[in-house]
Chains A and B, each alone.
Chain A
Amino acid sequence: GAVVSQHPSWVICKSGTSVKIECRSLDFQATTMFWYRQFPKQSLMLMATSNEGSKATYEQGVEKDKFLINHASLTLSTLTVTSAHPEDSSFYICSAWQGLGTEAFFGQGTRLTVV
């Protein structure tokens, strides 16, 4: 089946620095990718929709200047957490659909810890 690869799996960064998370569709092209945030023991919360070649669409309450999304190619979307703070520590997951209505494939997730 289709694979979505997310990197890194975990990252620790210092408060005030920026960290980039990559999401790649390995064997299919994805014009749209999605970024989620998951707090411990909670569900996935959609942060933004990443659109290839255009601006991302952010969900209400998500700071677009804090969470920068770039979808520069049909197989790669990146999420950059800028000026990270401890409250940004979370599990971030990306996903992409292979064919409308079939199945959303998810990356392995990235555990971000800001110290």
Chain B
Amino acid sequence: AQTVTQSQPEMSVQEAETVTLSCTYDTSESDYYLFWYKQPPSRQMILVIRQEAYKQQNATENRFSVNFQKAAKSFSLKISDSQLGDAAMYFCAYRSGGSEKLVFGKGTKLTVNP
């Protein structure tokens, strides 16, 4: 079974600085997708960024980018120019290409200090 590991239960960053959240996963499949979801205090799950395994180019969405290292099975999220609104729980998630099930990591709580 696939597993997703987030080794940082909590992280903090100064406003306007950059922070990187770590995620590793374990799979024997070649076709899969990786996601970062944000869960603010409202608890609404929001997609931050998505990466298809077959794409070598790292995904980028404005201030958010990933470092996808397929051989190392690593999928870290970099948040640049951190803002107070970025404070939330961040979940890394894996989805097999042949399934709609998401496997979530345990999450990283990000605090942004003014």
Contacts and interface: CB of A to CB of B under 8 A. Distances in A.
Interface string B76-97: 0000000000000001000101
A100 B109 CA distance: 29
A79 interface: no
Contacts, number: 47
A43 B50 contact: no
B104 A43 contact: yes
Contact of A49 (B43, B47, B95, B101): B101
Interface in A44-66: 44, 46, 49
Interface string A66-77: 000000000000
B44 A46 contact: no
B15 interface: no
Contacts of A104: 35, 47, 95, 100, 102
A97 B47 CA distance: 12
Interface residues of B, number: 20
Contacts of B44: 106, 108-109
A25 interface: no
Interface of A: 32, 34, 38, 41-44, 46, 49, 91, 93, 95, 97, 100-104, 106, 108-109
Given A34-B101, A101-B95, 20 more contacts: A32-B100, A34-B100, A34-B102, A43-B91, A43-B105, A43-B106, A43-B107, A44-B45, A44-B91, A44-B102, A46-B102, A49-B100, A49-B101, A95-B45, A95-B102, A97-B100, A100-B100, A104-B95, A104-B102, A109-B44
